[in-house]
Chain A
Amino acid sequence: MARDKIYLEEVFPSPFIQLWLIFRKTPVAMLGFSCFLFLIVLAIFGPFLAPHSPVEGQLDMLLLPPAWHIDGNVTYLLGTDELGRDMLSRLMYGTSLTFGLSFIVVIISLIIGVVIGSLSALTTGLKSSFLNHFLDVILSIPSLLLAIIIVAILGPGIDNTVWAVVLVLIPQFIHTTRYAVKEEFRKDYVLASRLDGASPFRVLYYSIFPNITDRIMGQATLAQSAAILDIATLGFLGLGAQIPLPEWGATLANGLDLFYIAPWTVYLPGLAILFAVVATNLVGEGIRHALKLRKER
């Protein structure tokens, strides 16, 4: 049912919607995006859908190969490990740990980073210079190393890993936000609204934020793929998720002893990590590609 328009009005989609319109047209990015959505759904509902318990093993079903193997069993689609735990269920639970946690981690650090970043963009002088130096130091240390340092201080464990990765990602968001905000501040439309008498915070909220969301989104996907890899690596090194937890990296480390007799216990978690990171990176690529196209218009 068409609605009558009283005023003739040209609709300008917001930058974010513009981005989405371009993004939609790249099939590869959409593929990545649907995988990403699939992982999110799995992270939320995985524990309810999993056919078996990820921690309790079936002791008469030790080291079953995946179902397509001659010795496989259809009830254990991806086989079992040395304690008879179903690999499929472990991977499904692992989705909420590795992927789900990394998603939460990114959101927390995004919020903190954007707040600090935009506030710091408003400062000048000594404070700003100090922050610059500080960010330079922190950003020159790779995220994984920093995460290892923080876990070393806090002690191994999944909760400490989460905090470590949050802390590690914050400076990146601060940097991106600060840079983007400063860039926007130089533009004419901001000057216009400042001349109108808007306070810096009003400018920030109404004028700048809508224009930098896309860039922060791009940073967020980068952060997400780093977070997945960091959580998994820490898990693999035994510094992250502890023994019975089916975190992907930890599952892989657990399978190491079985590498030669039950290789699927190593292949499958590795593939899961690869899949999650590739999906995230495809989305990120798509966003960056769309950003570039939008700028060129």
Chain B
Amino acid sequence: MNNLKLITLLLFCFLLSACNEEGKLSLSERSVIYCAEGSPETFNPQLVTSGTTIDATSNQLYDRLITYRGDDNILSPAIAKSWHVTRDGKKVTFYLRKDITFHQTDYFTPTRPLNADDVIFSFERILNFAHPYHLVSGGNYPFFQDVGLNDLIYDIEKINEHTVRFHLAQADNSFLANLATDFAIILSAEYAEQLTKLKKQSDIDTHPIGTGPFKLKEYRVGSLIRFYRHPQYWQEPAKIDQLVFDITPSNTGRLTKLLAKECDVVAYPIAHEKIVQHEDLSLEAVTALNVGYFGFNINKAPFDNKLVRQAISYAINKETLLETVYQGKAEMADTLIPKTSWAFDNNITKQEFNPELAKSLLNFAGYSDGFTMDLWAMPIQRPYNPNAITMAKLIQSDLKKINIKVNIISYEWSTFLQRLKQGEHQAFLLGWSADHPDPDNFFTPILSCSAAKTGSNTTFWCDREYDDTIKKALHTTNIKQRKKYYAQAMAILAEEVPVIPIAHSKRYQARGENVVGDILAPFGGINFYQVSKKSLYLEREERTNNRQSTKNNSNTGVN
């Protein structure tokens, strides 16, 4: 009986809604669905280093003071329309734009445009331990703590409503580069005030307010993130009305959705040959500055022993890992930084595959009968490691040959990272995507002592000499001198082996042919600001036009 009622209701609705359908672009032509590989841990990139969170937040919801632009990655203006650095490099002044509005959402309505207070609030929160928002959400700002920004900046001064000056303790080469990263976003001080009044401080990181091209509409944990266009964006508003992140951790699931046209864009696709076969799909790649590595937890036996670490580094056959896991599409890593970086040292000692040497090293270390270890493998695909579980299986069989029995352990992604931070692991497969082109972005966040304290250096390796070397490199302006320091640091790494670098890879993405516009940003992130969709109708028209005239491949905007 109920069905009958339903059907009548249904028909009724159909009649009602059919009228207001006409003359509009369909919903799907004004929206883009992105199949993401995991849920963000938070909506504030200041709090994390994980790429999944950055992808979902930084470029979509927020803006930075300055940004990288163009193929040469030149620092260019964003929220700051210009900036000035004094000759001694210790004072940096930013002149802010006056026409930037924050998001208006169900939970917040801005009354004023962005000004110096917002910038100061965003940085004070990180730097000032006594700041009321510092401890909200745990008080960990891993990126900033890793690069030592809290030691570097000793004061932020408000010159006037739209001018801010940073006072630095010393000149620092990577300061501007660090401010242009995905982490250094600007929050709204006014929103923070409102939350303080409502006593809901932690909402600042879960119900974000930013200035970016999209605003958050809805988030269902583990299932979707819905963004709407920010209509008052300070640049041209985004071309699509709606951006949906469909959270699909399963690799096959994402590919299925792509093939079944349920996703427009897919992160980290598998089965590249299958995608290439389809005419209406395209595969793109961007050379990302990254490194995938095998790390040891220095605090857990037997990896406190340098010889054991060296032995394992000789026992792993990187060639087959590259062949199988990366399908030959990555470059073998000899040290943390890729060969394309200016700091790369050609004289670096390469770790070759030598199981005999590995065995004798193990004997020497007193583990002639081998041992059993746990290897933690990431559950999801990252640009630096498309399939950590398969990699772990291969390493398992490699290490079996030198009598080490490996148990593979994996958790859901955010649990995995959390437990790594707490140091529950013995050894792990992980990686790092650079946030800016400065080589320091590899050396400091992965292996420095300060990173070991915040837990982003999950090897917990802390070497004074290495730390001093990379610090010296950071404070030198002479490129040759810096290169020398980095060569020293790499030599220490080759000797101590806290991590075994495996590969530098590309970041892949697949999309339907009707999605137009760049998405992959040069430094690992993604950005949907420029994206639009070709409507089917327009596409048909374009095709007929193309027959007559030359191919004009401009974005067919859908506004």
Residues of A bordering B, CB below 8 Å: 55-57, 59, 62, 82-83, 242-244, 256-261
Residue of B nearest to A255 (CB): B252
Q: Are A59 and B255 interface neighbours, CB within 8 A? A: no
Given the interface contacts A260-B255, A260-B271, does A56 sit within 8 Å of B397 by beta carbon? yes
A62 to B323, CA, bound (A): 10
B555 within 8 A of A: no
Contact assessment for A62 and B324 in the assembled complex, using a CB-CB cutoff below 8 Å:
yes
**In the complex, what's the smallest C-beta–C-beta distance from A169 to chain B, in angstroms?**
29
CB proximity to A under 8 Å, residues B388-402? 389-390, 393-394, 396-397
**Interface CB pairs A-B, < 8 A, 30:** A55-B397, A59-B320, A59-B323, A59-B324, A62-B324, A82-B324, A82-B390, A83-B324, A83-B390, A83-B393, A83-B394, A243-B389, A243-B393, A243-B408, A244-B393, A256-B250, A257-B251, A257-B270, A257-B387, A258-B271, A259-B255, A259-B256, A260-B252, A260-B255, A260-B259, A260-B271, A260-B274, A261-B271, A261-B273, A261-B274
What separation, in Å, do the CA atoms of A261 and B255 have in the docked complex?
11
Question: Taking CB as reference atom, which chain B residue is nearest A57?
Answer: B397
The interface residues of chain B lying within 8 Å CB-to-CB of A56 are 397
B408 / chain A contacts, CB cutoff of 8 Å: 242-243
CA A292 to CA B274, docked complex, whole Å: 54
B387: A residues at CB distance < 8 A: 257
Q: Encode contact with A along B34-65: 1 for CB under 8 Å, 0 otherwise.
A: 00000000000000000000000000000000
A56 and chain B: residue at smallest CB distance: B397
How far is A260 from B390 in the complex, measured between Cα atoms in Å?
17
Distance, CA A256 to CA B254, complexed state (A): 12
B residues apposed to A, CB below 8 Å: 250-252, 255-256, 259, 270-271, 273-274, 320, 323-324, 387, 389-390, 393-394, 396-397, 408
- Across chains A and B, the number of contacting residue pairs, with CB separation under 8 Å, is 37
Q: Which of B252, B273, B389, B396 contacts A259 (CB 8 A)?
A: B252
Instruction: Name the distance in Å between A74's Cβ and chain B's nearest Cβ.
Output: 23
Give the Cβ gap from B159 to chain A, nearest Cβ, in Å.
56
Least Cβ–Cβ distance between B266 and chain A, in angstroms: 13
Q: Which A-chain residue is minimally distant from B272 (CB atoms)?
A: A261
A55 to B408, CA, bound (A): 14
Considering the complex, give the chain B residue whose CB is closest to the CB of A53. Answer: B397
Most chain-A CB neighbours within 10 Å: which of B256, B273, B324, B394?
Answer: B324
Interface of A is mostly: loop
B43 CB to nearest chain A CB (Å): 30
Considering the complex of A and B, which 10 residue pairs feature the smallest CB-CB distances, nearest first? Answer: A261-B271, A260-B274, A256-B252, A260-B271, A59-B320, A243-B408, A257-B251, A259-B252, A257-B252, A261-B274
Q: Which B residues touch A55, using CB under 8 A? A: 397
Residues of B within 8 A of A258 (CB): 271
Cα–Cα distance between A288 and B516 once the two chains are bound (Å): 63
Closest A residue by C-beta to B273: A261
Using Cβ atoms and an 8 Å threshold, which residues of chain B touch A257?
Answer: 251-252, 270, 387
A115 to chain B, nearest CB (A): 37
Residues in A with CB closer than 8 Å to B273 are 261
In angstroms, Cα B394 to Cα A259, docked, is 20
Closest chain-B Cβ to A282's Cβ sits at a distance in Å of 33
Complex Cα–Cα for A257 and B394 (A): 16
* Least distance between A242 CB and chain B CB atoms (Å): 8
Cβ contacts under 8 Å, A57 to chain B? 397
**Residues of A contacting B389 in the complex (Cβ-Cβ under 8 angstroms):** 243
Q: What is the bound-complex CA distance between A55 and B396, given in angstroms?
A: 10
Closest-CB distance, B37 to chain A (whole angstroms):
13
Closest to A62 in B: B324
Contact B396 A244 (CB under 8 A): yes
Query: Which residues from chain A contact B320 at a C-beta distance below 8 Å?
Result: 59
CB-nearest residue of chain A to B317: A59
Residue among A56, A243, A244, A258 with max Cβ neighbours from chain B (10 Å): A243
With a cutoff of 8 Å between Cβ atoms, the chain B residues found around residue A83 in the complex are 324, 390, 393-394
- How far is A139 from B389 in the complex, measured between Cα atoms in Å? 38
Q: Which B residues are CB-close (under 8 A) to A256?
A: 250, 252
Instruction: Give complex CA distance A259, B256 in Å.
Output: 10
Cα distance A55–B406 in the bound complex, in angstroms: 13
- Nearest-Cβ distance from residue B378 to partner chain A, whole angstroms: 14
In the complex, given contacts A244-B393, A260-B252, A261-B273, what are 10 additional A-B residue pairs having Cβ atoms less than 8 angstroms apart? A56-B397, A59-B320, A59-B323, A59-B324, A82-B324, A82-B390, A83-B390, A243-B408, A244-B396, A258-B271
A242 to B397, CA, bound (A): 15
In the complex, chain B residues whose CB is within 8 Å of the CB of A242: 408
Most buried by A among B273, B274, B393, B394: B393
Q: Chain A contacts of B324 at CB under 8 A?
A: 59, 62, 82-83
Chain B residue numbers with a CB within 8 Å of A260 are 252, 255, 259, 271, 274
Most buried by A among B252, B255, B259, B323: B252
CA–CA, A243 and B397, complex, Å: 12
**How far is A243 from B391 in the complex, measured between Cα atoms in Å?**
12
Chain B's nearest CB lies how many Å from the CB of A198? 56
Chain B min CB distance to A269 (Å): 15
Nearest chain B CB to A63 CB, angstrom units: 10
Contacts of B271 in A (CB 8 A): 258, 260-261
B348 CB to nearest A CB, Å: 27
Nearest-CB distance from B354 to chain A (Å)? 18
CA gap between A259 and B251 in the complex, in Å: 10
The docked-state distance in angstroms from the alpha carbon of A86 to that of B174 is 52
A259 — which chain B residues lie within 8 A by C-beta?
252, 255-256
Nearest CB of B to A264, in Å:
14
CA distance A256 to B252 in the complex (A): 6
**Bound Cα distance A260, B255 (Å):** 9
The CA-CA distance from A243 to B387 in the complex, in Å, is 14
Cα–Cα, bound, A55→B400 (Å) = 12
* Distance of A90 from chain B, by nearest CB (Å): 13
B438 CB to closest chain A CB, in angstroms?
36
Closest chain A CB from B48 CB (angstroms): 27
Task: Give the shortest distance, in Å, between A255 (CB) and chain B (any CB).
Answer: 9
Tell me the complex Cα distance, A55–B252, Å: 23
* CB nearest neighbor in B for A262: B271
A242–B407 CA distance with the chains assembled, in angstroms? 10
The docked-state distance in angstroms from the alpha carbon of A134 to that of B250 is 40
A72 to B239 Cα, complex, angstroms: 49
A260 to B408, CA, bound (A): 25
Q: Which residue of A lies closest to B377 (CB)?
A: A243
CA separation between A125 and B408, bound complex, in Å? 53
Residues of A within 8 A of B274 (CB): 260-261
**Shortest distance in angstroms between B258's beta carbon and chain A's nearest beta carbon?**
10
Q: How far is the CB of B416 from chain A (nearest CB, A)?
A: 15
The answer for the CA separation of A62 and B387 in the assembled complex, in Å, is: 15
Closest residue of B by beta carbon distance from A82: B390
Residues in B with CB closer than 8 Å to A244 are 393, 396
Q: How far is the CB of B275 from chain A (nearest CB, A)?
A: 9
Residues of chain A with a CB closer than 8 A to B250's CB: 256
Tell me the complex Cα distance, A256–B256, Å. 11
* Chain A min CB distance to B385 (Å): 14
Expressed in whole angstroms, the minimum distance between the Cβ of B396 and any Cβ of chain A is 7
- Whole-angstrom distance between the Cβ of A225 and the nearest chain B Cβ: 28
CB-defined contacts of A243 to chain B, threshold 8 Å? 389, 393, 408
Minimum Cβ distance to chain B for residue A54 (Å): 12
B399 to A: closest C-beta gap in Å: 13
Min CB gap B172→A, angstroms: 44
- How many whole Å from B280's CB to the nearest CB in chain A? 16
- Residues on A with C-beta less than 8 A from B270 are 257
Closest to B319 in A: A59
A258 to B394: give the CA distance in the assembly, Å: 17
Contacts of B394 in A (CB 8 A): 83
- A108 to B539 Cα, complex, angstroms: 66
